[in-house]
Amino acid sequence: MHSLAERIQKQDQRALARAISMVENDDQEKLSLLSDIASLKKQSYYIGITGSPGAGKSSLVDRLVTHIREQDLTVAVIAVDPTSPFSGGALLGDRVRMHHHFTDPGVFIRSMATRGSLGGLARSTKDAIRVCDAYGFDYVIVETVGVGQSELDIMKVVDTTAVVLTPNSGDVLQIFKAGIMEIADLFIINKADLDGVGKLRGQLKDFLHIMDPDGWKAPIVETISTENKGIEKLWEKCRAHETYLTETEEGKQKRQEQLSFEVYELIREELWKDVAEFIEADEAKRQELQQMEDPYQIAEQWLSEWKRTYRG
């Protein structure tokens, strides 16, 4: 077993942080480390918090973490932030947010940069979740970067997806167009002290009525995170969805779909690296990239070449 996996099994937070750095940086030992970590899975429960920028997701997560700790449960937070154009790292580091949790051994907070990934997540988010699971946290909360209409990836890596909206922001029309309405297990109307709460609640209820989903019906919770209001109700609904997934076949199916998604993602990433190396190792191809006019023809041609080379 990888030495970091052994240390994670003993709940060494330094090893946990180091392992996440390895998967973020695509270390050559990444796959062997993750394979060892997979055997240590404790079956943490994953909650995703998504929504547009400015919806108050970070303060909401902060309050939720405090509430979870009051239940004597442990929690890891993976906060996906925009990428700095200069350093390539997260623009908002974990030292900026939730500072009062840093001395709590039952809380682990990690910021991850998107590094150009769409879908509101970093490429290595799912791997970081698995590492936190192996460590033994009761809950793992993933806060997405908040990129508007590209938040759908979150549903592929968490159990409960909560969509955060604010009154008078127009968010509900955007999420309806983007399909995010269909992935929400829970709607949170944050900043519920602002005007327009009733209108937003009515819009959500109308959309939910139109959808008329089978099985779980997404509840609507109103919160004012800055005043710590509605957090207990939010936690209650998260636990209700957890119970629903535990007691129905949908929960098993969701976890199986997550694992299938991981398999395809791992294969896609490895193939992408192989193809990129195949192209970049060829000086003529690099020159052609600078002068090409038809990317479709070039892509088809080079992919065919790569297949012939690797398939023999």
What does the pLDDT read at residue 30? 86
What does the pLDDT read at residue 312? 58
What does the pLDDT read at residue 21? 92
Architecture of domain 41-247: 3-Layer(aba) Sandwich (3.40)
What does the pLDDT read at residue 245? 94
Sorted by where each begins, the domain ranges of the chain are: 1-40, 41-247, 262-311
- Quote the pTM value: 0.83
Residue-wise pLDDT tens digits, 236-245: 999 999 999 9
What does the pLDDT read at residue 63? 94
Mean pLDDT, 10 residues at a time, over the chain (312 residues)?
Answer: 91 94 87 88 90 85 95 94 44 54 89 56 79 95 69 81 84 60 87 91 85 83 95 97 93 85 83 88 88 87 87 63
Residue-wise pLDDT tens digits, 260-291: 888 888 888 888 888 888 898 989 888 888 88
What does the pLDDT read at residue 209? 82
What does the pLDDT read at residue 272? 86
The C-alpha atoms of residue 256 and residue 277 are separated, in whole angstroms, by 32
What distance, in Å, lies between the first and last C-alpha atoms of the chain?
34
Task: Let me know the angle formed at the C-alpha of 308 by 307 and 312, rounded to the nearest 5 degrees.
Answer: 115
